[in-house]
A and B are shown apart, each in its own frame.
Chain A
Amino acid sequence: MIELENVAYSYGGGELLSDISLNLQAGSFHFLTGPSGAGKTTLMKLCYGALLPTSGEVRLFDRDLRTLERDDIAMTRRRVGVVHQDCQFLDHLSVSENISLPLMVSGRDVQGEAANLKELTSWVGLTDRASALPAELSGGERQRAALARAVIMSPDVILADEPTGNVDWDMSQRLLKLLLELNRMGKTIMIATHDLALVRAAKSQVQARVLRISGGQLQLAGADL
Protein backbone atom coordinates (compact mmCIF):
# COMPACT_ATOMS: atom_id res chain seq x y z
CA MET A 1 0.00 0.00 0.00
CA ILE A 2 2.53 2.59 1.19
CA GLU A 3 6.27 1.97 1.02
CA LEU A 4 9.17 4.13 2.09
CA GLU A 5 12.65 3.11 1.09
CA ASN A 6 15.77 4.76 2.49
CA VAL A 7 13.87 7.97 2.90
CA ALA A 8 15.49 11.06 4.35
CA TYR A 9 13.89 14.39 5.07
CA SER A 10 15.75 17.57 5.89
CA TYR A 11 14.22 20.66 7.38
CA GLY A 12 15.83 23.96 8.34
CA GLY A 13 19.31 22.79 7.46
CA GLY A 14 19.20 19.64 9.57
CA GLU A 15 18.17 16.10 8.73
CA LEU A 16 14.99 15.30 10.63
CA LEU A 17 14.58 11.78 9.28
CA SER A 18 17.25 9.58 7.75
CA ASP A 19 17.34 6.19 6.10
CA ILE A 20 13.70 5.38 6.86
CA SER A 21 12.29 2.22 5.34
CA LEU A 22 8.71 1.23 6.02
CA ASN A 23 6.11 -0.93 4.35
CA LEU A 24 2.45 -0.56 5.29
CA GLN A 25 0.91 -3.77 4.01
CA ALA A 26 -2.79 -4.25 3.45
CA GLY A 27 -4.67 -4.93 6.67
CA SER A 28 -1.69 -4.20 8.92
CA PHE A 29 -1.80 -2.17 12.11
CA HIS A 30 1.12 0.08 13.05
CA PHE A 31 1.92 2.36 15.92
CA LEU A 32 4.44 5.10 15.40
CA THR A 33 5.87 6.33 18.67
CA GLY A 34 8.54 8.74 19.75
CA PRO A 35 8.92 11.96 21.71
CA SER A 36 7.42 15.23 20.56
CA GLY A 37 9.43 16.72 17.72
CA ALA A 38 10.94 13.36 16.75
CA GLY A 39 9.37 13.53 13.30
CA LYS A 40 6.19 11.45 13.64
CA THR A 41 3.99 14.01 11.88
CA THR A 42 6.63 14.50 9.16
CA LEU A 43 6.73 10.77 8.53
CA MET A 44 2.93 10.66 8.38
CA LYS A 45 2.96 13.52 5.86
CA LEU A 46 5.49 11.66 3.74
CA CYS A 47 3.10 8.71 3.78
CA TYR A 48 0.26 10.66 2.14
CA GLY A 49 2.31 12.86 -0.15
CA ALA A 50 2.00 16.12 1.75
CA LEU A 51 5.80 16.28 1.81
CA LEU A 52 8.40 15.07 -0.66
CA PRO A 53 11.44 13.23 0.71
CA THR A 54 14.85 14.84 0.41
CA SER A 55 16.17 11.50 -0.74
CA GLY A 56 14.90 7.96 -1.01
CA GLU A 57 11.68 6.73 -2.50
CA VAL A 58 8.07 6.89 -1.37
CA ARG A 59 5.64 4.62 -3.18
CA LEU A 60 1.91 5.19 -2.78
CA PHE A 61 -0.16 2.31 -4.12
CA ASP A 62 2.76 1.15 -6.27
CA ARG A 63 3.46 4.58 -7.75
CA ASP A 64 6.55 6.66 -7.05
CA LEU A 65 5.46 9.84 -5.29
CA ARG A 66 7.90 11.95 -7.33
CA THR A 67 6.22 10.90 -10.57
CA LEU A 68 2.74 11.84 -9.40
CA GLU A 69 1.06 14.98 -10.72
CA ARG A 70 -0.87 17.17 -8.32
CA ASP A 71 -4.15 15.65 -9.45
CA ASP A 72 -2.73 12.16 -8.95
CA ILE A 73 -1.81 13.06 -5.38
CA ALA A 74 -5.34 14.35 -4.83
CA MET A 75 -6.76 11.07 -6.14
CA THR A 76 -4.36 9.13 -3.91
CA ARG A 77 -5.56 11.02 -0.86
CA ARG A 78 -9.05 9.71 -1.49
CA ARG A 79 -7.61 6.27 -0.73
CA VAL A 80 -5.88 7.48 2.44
CA GLY A 81 -7.96 8.74 5.34
CA VAL A 82 -6.04 11.18 7.54
CA VAL A 83 -6.94 12.12 11.11
CA HIS A 84 -5.00 15.16 12.31
CA GLN A 85 -4.39 15.97 15.93
CA ASP A 86 -5.99 19.38 15.38
CA CYS A 87 -8.68 17.79 13.19
CA GLN A 88 -8.55 20.50 10.49
CA PHE A 89 -12.23 21.23 10.00
CA LEU A 90 -13.85 23.94 7.96
CA ASP A 91 -15.28 26.04 10.77
CA HIS A 92 -18.20 27.45 8.77
CA LEU A 93 -19.57 23.99 7.91
CA SER A 94 -21.58 21.77 10.24
CA VAL A 95 -20.23 18.49 11.58
CA SER A 96 -22.14 16.42 9.02
CA GLU A 97 -20.97 18.70 6.20
CA ASN A 98 -17.39 18.39 7.39
CA ILE A 99 -17.72 14.62 7.53
CA SER A 100 -19.12 14.54 4.00
CA LEU A 101 -16.44 16.91 2.65
CA PRO A 102 -14.46 14.13 0.90
CA LEU A 103 -17.69 13.13 -0.89
CA MET A 104 -18.27 16.72 -2.00
CA VAL A 105 -14.77 17.25 -3.37
CA SER A 106 -14.83 13.95 -5.22
CA GLY A 107 -18.04 14.99 -6.96
CA ARG A 108 -20.24 12.35 -5.37
CA ASP A 109 -23.87 13.07 -4.62
CA VAL A 110 -23.99 13.84 -0.91
CA GLN A 111 -27.78 13.57 -0.84
CA GLY A 112 -27.52 10.11 -2.34
CA GLU A 113 -25.07 9.11 0.38
CA ALA A 114 -27.29 10.43 3.17
CA ALA A 115 -28.02 6.97 4.60
CA ASN A 116 -24.31 6.10 4.76
CA LEU A 117 -23.53 9.46 6.30
CA LYS A 118 -26.19 8.93 8.94
CA GLU A 119 -24.88 5.46 9.71
CA LEU A 120 -21.31 6.74 9.95
CA THR A 121 -22.32 9.64 12.20
CA SER A 122 -24.10 7.15 14.43
CA TRP A 123 -21.06 4.82 14.40
CA VAL A 124 -18.88 7.57 15.86
CA GLY A 125 -21.66 8.57 18.26
CA LEU A 126 -22.31 12.04 16.87
CA THR A 127 -25.91 11.69 15.66
CA ASP A 128 -27.09 14.42 18.03
CA ARG A 129 -24.21 16.73 17.09
CA ALA A 130 -24.50 16.43 13.30
CA SER A 131 -25.78 19.96 12.79
CA ALA A 132 -23.40 21.58 15.29
CA LEU A 133 -20.42 23.64 14.20
CA PRO A 134 -16.93 22.25 14.91
CA ALA A 135 -16.28 24.99 17.47
CA GLU A 136 -19.18 23.66 19.53
CA LEU A 137 -17.69 20.16 19.86
CA SER A 138 -15.60 18.78 22.70
CA GLY A 139 -12.09 17.42 22.01
CA GLY A 140 -13.32 13.83 21.86
CA GLU A 141 -16.23 14.72 19.60
CA ARG A 142 -13.87 16.55 17.24
CA GLN A 143 -11.57 13.54 17.02
CA ARG A 144 -14.50 11.22 16.31
CA ALA A 145 -15.81 13.59 13.64
CA ALA A 146 -12.32 13.70 12.10
CA LEU A 147 -12.24 9.90 12.10
CA ALA A 148 -15.65 9.76 10.43
CA ARG A 149 -14.42 12.17 7.75
CA ALA A 150 -11.30 10.06 7.26
CA VAL A 151 -13.28 6.88 6.61
CA ILE A 152 -16.28 8.17 4.65
CA MET A 153 -14.61 7.38 1.31
CA SER A 154 -13.86 3.87 2.57
CA PRO A 155 -10.11 4.38 2.16
CA ASP A 156 -7.59 1.54 2.09
CA VAL A 157 -5.31 3.22 4.61
CA ILE A 158 -6.05 5.31 7.68
CA LEU A 159 -3.30 7.50 9.14
CA ALA A 160 -4.10 8.99 12.54
CA ASP A 161 -1.72 11.58 13.97
CA GLU A 162 -2.07 11.77 17.78
CA PRO A 163 -5.81 11.07 17.61
CA THR A 164 -5.99 10.78 21.38
CA GLY A 165 -3.78 13.76 22.15
CA ASN A 166 -6.54 15.99 23.49
CA VAL A 167 -8.95 13.48 25.01
CA ASP A 168 -9.31 11.62 28.29
CA TRP A 169 -8.58 7.92 28.77
CA ASP A 170 -12.16 6.76 28.22
CA MET A 171 -12.43 8.69 24.99
CA SER A 172 -9.05 7.46 23.77
CA GLN A 173 -10.27 3.88 24.38
CA ARG A 174 -13.42 4.63 22.43
CA LEU A 175 -11.40 6.00 19.50
CA LEU A 176 -9.04 3.02 19.65
CA LYS A 177 -12.05 0.70 19.52
CA LEU A 178 -13.26 2.41 16.35
CA LEU A 179 -9.83 2.12 14.74
CA LEU A 180 -9.55 -1.56 15.71
CA GLU A 181 -12.98 -2.13 14.19
CA LEU A 182 -11.80 -0.54 10.94
CA ASN A 183 -8.70 -2.77 10.97
CA ARG A 184 -10.92 -5.82 11.34
CA MET A 185 -12.72 -4.60 8.20
CA GLY A 186 -9.38 -4.92 6.39
CA LYS A 187 -8.18 -1.33 6.57
CA THR A 188 -4.50 -0.58 7.03
CA ILE A 189 -4.00 1.57 10.10
CA MET A 190 -1.07 3.62 11.33
CA ILE A 191 -1.39 5.66 14.53
CA ALA A 192 1.25 8.18 15.53
CA THR A 193 1.20 8.62 19.30
CA HIS A 194 3.39 9.30 22.27
CA ASP A 195 0.81 7.65 24.53
CA LEU A 196 2.40 4.28 25.33
CA ALA A 197 -0.56 3.30 27.50
CA LEU A 198 -2.71 3.42 24.40
CA VAL A 199 -0.23 1.21 22.57
CA ARG A 200 -0.23 -1.32 25.40
CA ALA A 201 -4.03 -1.33 25.46
CA ALA A 202 -4.13 -1.97 21.73
CA LYS A 203 -1.53 -4.72 21.72
CA SER A 204 -3.80 -6.90 23.80
CA GLN A 205 -6.44 -6.67 21.10
CA VAL A 206 -4.57 -6.60 17.80
CA GLN A 207 -1.29 -7.78 16.34
CA ALA A 208 0.25 -4.37 15.98
CA ARG A 209 3.71 -3.45 14.84
CA VAL A 210 5.17 -0.77 17.05
CA LEU A 211 7.76 1.56 15.53
CA ARG A 212 9.73 4.23 17.28
CA ILE A 213 11.47 7.26 15.83
CA SER A 214 14.61 8.16 17.67
CA GLY A 215 17.44 10.35 16.45
CA GLY A 216 15.85 10.52 13.03
CA GLN A 217 15.93 6.74 12.66
CA LEU A 218 13.01 4.33 12.65
CA GLN A 219 13.34 1.36 14.95
CA LEU A 220 11.15 -1.57 15.78
CA ALA A 221 9.98 -1.27 19.37
CA GLY A 222 7.90 -3.56 21.48
CA ALA A 223 9.99 -5.43 24.01
CA ASP A 224 10.03 -2.48 26.37
CA LEU A 225 6.30 -1.84 26.15
Chain B
Amino acid sequence: MISKSRKIIELLAGDAQADKVVPPTGFTASLTLFSSAAMAFLAVFALALSLATGRLADRWGDELARSSTLRISAPSDQMAAQTAAALNVLNTTKGVATARALDDAEQRALLEPWFGPDLPVETLPIPQLIEVIEDTGGFDADGLRLRLAAEVPGAVLDDHTRWRRPLIHAATRLRLLGWVSLALIGTATAAMITLAANAALAANTQVIAVLRLVGARDTYIARAFVRRFTLRALVGAAFGVVLGTAAILLLPSADTGGGFLTGLGFRGQHWLWPLVIPPLAAIVAFIATRAAARRTLKDLT
Protein backbone atom coordinates (compact mmCIF):
# COMPACT_ATOMS: atom_id res chain seq x y z
CA MET B 1 0.00 0.00 0.00
CA ILE B 2 2.88 2.37 0.84
CA SER B 3 4.63 1.76 -2.48
CA LYS B 4 1.28 2.20 -4.26
CA SER B 5 0.72 5.49 -2.43
CA ARG B 6 4.22 6.63 -3.37
CA LYS B 7 3.52 5.76 -6.99
CA ILE B 8 0.34 7.80 -6.85
CA ILE B 9 2.13 10.79 -5.34
CA GLU B 10 4.82 10.59 -8.04
CA LEU B 11 2.11 10.29 -10.62
CA LEU B 12 0.25 13.33 -9.31
CA ALA B 13 3.47 15.33 -9.28
CA GLY B 14 3.22 14.77 -13.04
CA ASP B 15 5.19 15.14 -16.19
CA ALA B 16 4.27 18.30 -18.07
CA GLN B 17 5.56 16.83 -21.34
CA ALA B 18 3.56 13.64 -21.01
CA ASP B 19 0.40 15.55 -20.09
CA LYS B 20 0.29 17.17 -23.50
CA VAL B 21 0.34 13.91 -25.36
CA VAL B 22 -3.26 12.85 -24.72
CA PRO B 23 -5.84 15.39 -25.91
CA PRO B 24 -8.25 16.72 -23.30
CA THR B 25 -11.58 14.89 -23.20
CA GLY B 26 -14.39 17.03 -21.82
CA PHE B 27 -17.05 14.35 -21.49
CA THR B 28 -15.07 11.79 -19.53
CA ALA B 29 -13.54 14.56 -17.42
CA SER B 30 -16.97 15.83 -16.37
CA LEU B 31 -18.27 12.30 -15.83
CA THR B 32 -15.38 11.33 -13.59
CA LEU B 33 -15.50 14.56 -11.61
CA PHE B 34 -19.26 14.32 -11.07
CA SER B 35 -19.37 10.63 -10.17
CA SER B 36 -16.41 10.98 -7.86
CA ALA B 37 -18.00 13.97 -6.10
CA ALA B 38 -21.37 12.21 -5.78
CA MET B 39 -19.80 9.04 -4.41
CA ALA B 40 -17.67 10.97 -1.93
CA PHE B 41 -20.79 12.82 -0.76
CA LEU B 42 -22.54 9.49 -0.14
CA ALA B 43 -19.40 8.07 1.44
CA VAL B 44 -19.41 10.86 4.03
CA PHE B 45 -22.92 9.83 5.07
CA ALA B 46 -22.09 6.13 5.11
CA LEU B 47 -19.05 6.91 7.23
CA ALA B 48 -21.11 9.06 9.57
CA LEU B 49 -23.68 6.24 9.87
CA SER B 50 -21.00 3.70 10.70
CA LEU B 51 -19.33 5.88 13.28
CA ALA B 52 -22.64 6.99 14.85
CA THR B 53 -23.96 3.44 15.16
CA GLY B 54 -20.61 2.35 16.51
CA ARG B 55 -20.86 4.99 19.20
CA LEU B 56 -24.45 3.99 19.88
CA ALA B 57 -23.60 0.30 20.22
CA ASP B 58 -20.72 1.12 22.55
CA ARG B 59 -22.87 3.41 24.66
CA TRP B 60 -25.78 1.00 24.92
CA GLY B 61 -23.46 -1.86 25.66
CA ASP B 62 -21.52 0.10 28.22
CA GLU B 63 -24.41 1.75 30.02
CA LEU B 64 -26.79 -1.19 30.03
CA ALA B 65 -24.15 -3.68 30.95
CA ARG B 66 -23.36 -1.82 34.13
CA SER B 67 -26.94 -1.26 35.33
CA SER B 68 -29.70 -3.60 36.47
CA THR B 69 -33.17 -3.09 37.90
CA LEU B 70 -34.73 -4.77 40.88
CA ARG B 71 -38.54 -4.76 40.90
CA ILE B 72 -40.35 -5.32 44.18
CA SER B 73 -44.02 -6.27 44.04
CA ALA B 74 -45.54 -6.44 47.50
CA PRO B 75 -48.64 -5.29 49.37
CA SER B 76 -48.40 -1.61 50.25
CA ASP B 77 -47.95 -2.28 53.97
CA GLN B 78 -44.93 -4.52 53.26
CA MET B 79 -43.39 -2.44 50.52
CA ALA B 80 -41.12 -0.33 52.73
CA ALA B 81 -39.85 -3.34 54.68
CA GLN B 82 -39.13 -5.38 51.54
CA THR B 83 -37.41 -2.39 49.92
CA ALA B 84 -35.18 -1.95 52.96
CA ALA B 85 -34.40 -5.68 53.02
CA ALA B 86 -33.57 -5.66 49.32
CA LEU B 87 -31.28 -2.65 49.69
CA ASN B 88 -29.59 -4.43 52.56
CA VAL B 89 -29.02 -7.53 50.43
CA LEU B 90 -27.73 -5.42 47.53
CA ASN B 91 -25.39 -3.34 49.67
CA THR B 92 -23.80 -6.52 51.00
CA THR B 93 -23.45 -8.16 47.58
CA LYS B 94 -20.01 -8.26 46.04
CA GLY B 95 -19.87 -6.47 42.71
CA VAL B 96 -22.67 -3.98 43.41
CA ALA B 97 -21.32 -0.43 43.38
CA THR B 98 -24.53 1.35 44.31
CA ALA B 99 -28.15 0.47 44.87
CA ARG B 100 -30.81 3.16 45.06
CA ALA B 101 -34.58 3.04 45.32
CA LEU B 102 -36.26 5.34 42.80
CA ASP B 103 -38.39 8.02 44.42
CA ASP B 104 -41.96 8.84 43.37
CA ALA B 105 -40.86 11.60 41.00
CA GLU B 106 -38.52 9.27 39.15
CA GLN B 107 -41.15 6.53 38.90
CA ARG B 108 -43.66 9.11 37.69
CA ALA B 109 -41.21 10.21 35.00
CA LEU B 110 -40.85 6.60 33.83
CA LEU B 111 -44.62 6.21 33.51
CA GLU B 112 -45.24 9.63 32.02
CA PRO B 113 -44.93 8.51 28.35
CA TRP B 114 -47.90 6.15 28.88
CA PHE B 115 -50.09 7.88 31.48
CA GLY B 116 -49.19 11.53 31.02
CA PRO B 117 -47.93 13.97 33.68
CA ASP B 118 -49.11 14.33 37.31
CA LEU B 119 -49.80 10.62 37.79
CA PRO B 120 -50.52 9.96 41.52
CA VAL B 121 -48.10 7.05 41.82
CA GLU B 122 -48.40 7.03 45.60
CA THR B 123 -52.02 5.94 45.30
CA LEU B 124 -51.38 3.23 42.71
CA PRO B 125 -50.28 -0.33 43.47
CA ILE B 126 -47.15 -0.14 41.33
CA PRO B 127 -43.92 -1.94 42.09
CA GLN B 128 -40.97 -0.21 43.71
CA LEU B 129 -37.92 -0.03 41.43
CA ILE B 130 -34.32 -0.13 42.65
CA GLU B 131 -31.50 0.92 40.33
CA VAL B 132 -28.44 -1.26 40.71
CA ILE B 133 -25.08 -0.14 39.36
CA GLU B 134 -22.32 -2.72 39.08
CA ASP B 135 -18.68 -2.09 39.75
CA THR B 136 -16.13 -3.08 37.12
CA GLY B 137 -16.05 -6.70 38.27
CA GLY B 138 -19.85 -7.10 38.12
CA PHE B 139 -21.98 -9.31 40.37
CA ASP B 140 -23.15 -12.90 40.21
CA ALA B 141 -26.77 -12.46 39.02
CA ASP B 142 -27.79 -16.07 39.73
CA GLY B 143 -26.39 -15.96 43.28
CA LEU B 144 -28.11 -12.64 43.93
CA ARG B 145 -31.45 -14.02 42.71
CA LEU B 146 -31.17 -16.93 45.13
CA ARG B 147 -30.47 -14.59 48.06
CA LEU B 148 -33.33 -12.30 47.09
CA ALA B 149 -35.73 -15.23 46.75
CA ALA B 150 -34.92 -16.19 50.32
CA GLU B 151 -34.97 -12.73 51.89
CA VAL B 152 -37.23 -10.59 49.66
CA PRO B 153 -39.89 -12.89 48.11
CA GLY B 154 -41.47 -10.12 45.99
CA ALA B 155 -38.21 -9.04 44.30
CA VAL B 156 -37.42 -9.71 40.65
CA LEU B 157 -33.93 -8.92 39.29
CA ASP B 158 -33.70 -7.74 35.69
CA ASP B 159 -30.10 -7.45 34.54
CA HIS B 160 -31.25 -6.06 31.10
CA THR B 161 -29.68 -8.96 29.19
CA ARG B 162 -32.97 -9.79 27.53
CA TRP B 163 -33.39 -6.48 25.74
CA ARG B 164 -29.78 -5.28 25.76
CA ARG B 165 -28.68 -8.04 23.38
CA PRO B 166 -31.03 -7.20 20.45
CA LEU B 167 -30.29 -3.48 20.81
CA ILE B 168 -26.56 -4.02 20.58
CA HIS B 169 -27.11 -6.52 17.79
CA ALA B 170 -29.15 -3.95 15.86
CA ALA B 171 -26.55 -1.24 16.36
CA THR B 172 -23.77 -3.59 15.28
CA ARG B 173 -25.75 -4.53 12.17
CA LEU B 174 -26.25 -0.86 11.38
CA ARG B 175 -22.54 -0.26 11.73
CA LEU B 176 -21.86 -3.20 9.41
CA LEU B 177 -24.39 -1.78 6.95
CA GLY B 178 -22.44 1.48 6.95
CA TRP B 179 -19.18 -0.28 6.14
CA VAL B 180 -20.85 -2.39 3.44
CA SER B 181 -22.25 0.84 1.97
CA LEU B 182 -18.74 2.30 1.93
CA ALA B 183 -17.42 -0.80 0.17
CA LEU B 184 -20.23 -0.61 -2.39
CA ILE B 185 -19.57 3.07 -2.96
CA GLY B 186 -15.89 2.28 -3.55
CA THR B 187 -16.77 -0.49 -5.99
CA ALA B 188 -19.29 1.68 -7.83
CA THR B 189 -16.68 4.45 -8.07
CA ALA B 190 -14.18 1.99 -9.52
CA ALA B 191 -16.78 0.76 -12.03
CA MET B 192 -17.68 4.26 -13.16
CA ILE B 193 -14.07 5.33 -13.49
CA THR B 194 -13.30 2.15 -15.41
CA LEU B 195 -16.14 2.95 -17.82
CA ALA B 196 -14.93 6.52 -18.25
CA ALA B 197 -11.34 5.38 -18.69
CA ASN B 198 -12.38 2.78 -21.27
CA ALA B 199 -14.31 5.47 -23.15
CA ALA B 200 -11.28 7.77 -23.09
CA LEU B 201 -8.96 4.98 -24.22
CA ALA B 202 -11.32 3.99 -27.03
CA ALA B 203 -11.59 7.60 -28.16
CA ASN B 204 -7.81 7.86 -28.25
CA THR B 205 -6.93 4.64 -30.07
CA GLN B 206 -5.28 6.62 -32.86
CA VAL B 207 -3.23 8.62 -30.35
CA ILE B 208 -2.10 5.39 -28.68
CA ALA B 209 -1.16 3.89 -32.06
CA VAL B 210 1.00 6.94 -32.85
CA LEU B 211 2.65 6.78 -29.44
CA ARG B 212 3.45 3.08 -29.92
CA LEU B 213 4.81 3.88 -33.38
CA VAL B 214 7.31 6.39 -32.02
CA GLY B 215 8.51 4.05 -29.28
CA ALA B 216 6.31 4.79 -26.26
CA ARG B 217 6.22 2.03 -23.69
CA ASP B 218 2.88 0.87 -22.29
CA THR B 219 3.69 2.36 -18.89
CA TYR B 220 4.22 5.79 -20.46
CA ILE B 221 0.90 5.65 -22.33
CA ALA B 222 -1.00 4.25 -19.35
CA ARG B 223 0.50 6.90 -17.08
CA ALA B 224 -0.89 9.71 -19.24
CA PHE B 225 -4.41 8.36 -18.72
CA VAL B 226 -3.97 7.18 -15.15
CA ARG B 227 -2.70 10.56 -13.97
CA ARG B 228 -5.64 12.34 -15.54
CA PHE B 229 -8.26 10.08 -13.98
CA THR B 230 -6.54 9.92 -10.59
CA LEU B 231 -6.45 13.71 -10.39
CA ARG B 232 -10.07 14.03 -11.46
CA ALA B 233 -11.17 11.48 -8.85
CA LEU B 234 -9.15 13.27 -6.18
CA VAL B 235 -10.56 16.70 -7.00
CA GLY B 236 -14.11 15.40 -7.42
CA ALA B 237 -13.97 13.49 -4.15
CA ALA B 238 -12.56 16.51 -2.31
CA PHE B 239 -15.49 18.56 -3.58
CA GLY B 240 -17.96 15.83 -2.56
CA VAL B 241 -16.43 15.57 0.92
CA VAL B 242 -16.74 19.32 1.46
CA LEU B 243 -20.41 19.19 0.47
CA GLY B 244 -21.09 16.04 2.49
CA THR B 245 -19.42 17.40 5.60
CA ALA B 246 -21.33 20.67 5.25
CA ALA B 247 -24.57 18.69 5.00
CA ILE B 248 -23.68 16.72 8.14
CA LEU B 249 -22.99 19.99 9.94
CA LEU B 250 -26.43 21.25 8.94
CA LEU B 251 -28.23 18.25 10.49
CA PRO B 252 -30.10 19.07 13.74
CA SER B 253 -27.98 18.40 16.79
CA ALA B 254 -28.57 15.37 19.00
CA ASP B 255 -29.36 17.59 21.98
CA THR B 256 -32.32 19.32 20.40
CA GLY B 257 -33.89 16.33 18.64
CA GLY B 258 -32.88 13.63 21.01
CA GLY B 259 -33.49 10.79 18.55
CA PHE B 260 -31.06 8.41 16.93
CA LEU B 261 -31.03 10.05 13.48
CA THR B 262 -30.13 13.42 14.92
CA GLY B 263 -27.04 11.81 16.40
CA LEU B 264 -25.80 11.01 12.86
CA GLY B 265 -22.50 12.80 12.44
CA PHE B 266 -18.97 12.96 13.68
CA ARG B 267 -17.56 13.59 17.14
CA GLY B 268 -14.09 14.74 18.07
CA GLN B 269 -11.36 13.03 16.08
CA HIS B 270 -13.97 11.37 13.89
CA TRP B 271 -14.20 14.65 11.97
CA LEU B 272 -10.82 13.72 10.45
CA TRP B 273 -12.20 10.54 8.88
CA PRO B 274 -13.79 12.26 5.83
CA LEU B 275 -10.33 13.54 4.91
CA VAL B 276 -9.42 9.94 4.08
CA ILE B 277 -12.06 9.75 1.33
CA PRO B 278 -10.34 11.84 -1.43
CA PRO B 279 -7.02 9.92 -1.22
CA LEU B 280 -8.97 6.64 -1.19
CA ALA B 281 -10.93 7.75 -4.26
CA ALA B 282 -7.62 8.61 -5.94
CA ILE B 283 -6.25 5.15 -5.12
CA VAL B 284 -9.41 3.51 -6.50
CA ALA B 285 -9.16 5.61 -9.69
CA PHE B 286 -5.45 4.82 -10.01
CA ILE B 287 -6.04 1.07 -9.80
CA ALA B 288 -9.16 1.09 -12.02
CA THR B 289 -7.62 3.24 -14.76
CA ARG B 290 -4.34 1.35 -14.75
CA ALA B 291 -6.17 -1.97 -15.12
CA ALA B 292 -8.33 -0.55 -17.94
CA ALA B 293 -5.28 0.90 -19.71
CA ARG B 294 -3.35 -2.36 -19.44
CA ARG B 295 -6.28 -4.32 -20.87
CA THR B 296 -6.63 -1.92 -23.80
CA LEU B 297 -2.92 -1.65 -24.56
CA LYS B 298 -2.47 -5.41 -24.50
CA ASP B 299 -4.70 -5.66 -27.58
CA LEU B 300 -2.77 -3.04 -29.56
CA THR B 301 0.47 -3.66 -31.44
A and B interact physically: yes
Interface on A for B, CB 8 Å cutoff? 49-51, 70-71, 74-75, 77-78, 82, 84, 88-93, 97, 101-102, 104-107, 110, 149, 153
| 9-residue interface stretch from B15-23, B61-69, B138-146, B158-166 | B15-23
- The yes or no answer to B212 lying at the interface (CB within 8 A) is yes
Q: A90-B207, A105-B220 are in contact. Are A77 and B215 (CB under 8 A)?
A: yes
Which residue of chain B lies nearest to A87 when distances are taken between CB atoms in the complex?
A: B210
Nearest chain A CB to B24 CB, angstrom units: 8
* 17 A–B contacts, CB within 8 A, in A order: A51-B301, A70-B218, A74-B215, A77-B214, A77-B215, A82-B213, A88-B210, A90-B21, A92-B23, A93-B20, A93-B21, A101-B210, A101-B214, A104-B18, A105-B21, A105-B211, A110-B17
Which residue of chain A lies nearest to B209 when distances are taken between CB atoms in the complex?
A: A88
Contacts of A49 in B (CB 8 A): 301
Q: A90-B23, A110-B17 are in contact. Are A74 and B210 (CB under 8 A)?
A: no
Whether the pair A105, B214 counts as a contact (CB closer than 8 A) is yes
Nearest chain B CB to A109 CB, angstrom units: 9
Please give 12 more A-B residue pairs, beta carbons under 8 A apart, in addition to A70-B218, A88-B210, A88-B213.
A71-B217, A77-B214, A77-B215, A78-B214, A78-B215, A90-B23, A90-B207, A97-B20, A101-B210, A102-B215, A105-B211, A105-B217
Within 8 A of A (CB), among B162-218: 206-207, 209-218
Nearest chain B CB to A30 CB, angstrom units: 20
B17, B18, B206, B213: the one within 8 Å of A77 (CB): B213
| Interface of B: prevailing SS | helix
Contacts of A153 in B (CB 8 A): 215
Interface size class of B (residues with CB under 8 A): 20 to 34
Complex Cα spacing A50 to B216, Å: 13
Which residue of chain A lies nearest to B217 when distances are taken between CB atoms in the complex?
A: A74
Whether the pair B20, A149 counts as a contact (CB closer than 8 A) is no
Interface string of B211-238 (1 = CB under 8 A from A): 1111111111000000000000000000
| Interface of A: prevailing SS | loop
Complex Cα spacing A99 to B215, Å: 13
Complex Cα spacing A11 to B207, Å: 25
Whether the pair A74, B23 counts as a contact (CB closer than 8 A) is no
Contacts of B213 in A (CB 8 A): 50, 77, 82, 84, 88
Whether the pair A50, B301 counts as a contact (CB closer than 8 A) is yes
Contacts of B220 in A (CB 8 A): 105, 107
Nearest chain A CB to B279 CB, angstrom units: 27
Contacts of B210 in A (CB 8 A): 88-90, 101
Complex Cα spacing A77 to B216, Å: 9
Whether the pair A74, B21 counts as a contact (CB closer than 8 A) is no
Complex Cα spacing A62 to B59, Å: 74
Nearest chain B CB to A209 CB, angstrom units: 25
Which residue of chain A lies nearest to B221 when distances are taken between CB atoms in the complex?
A: A105
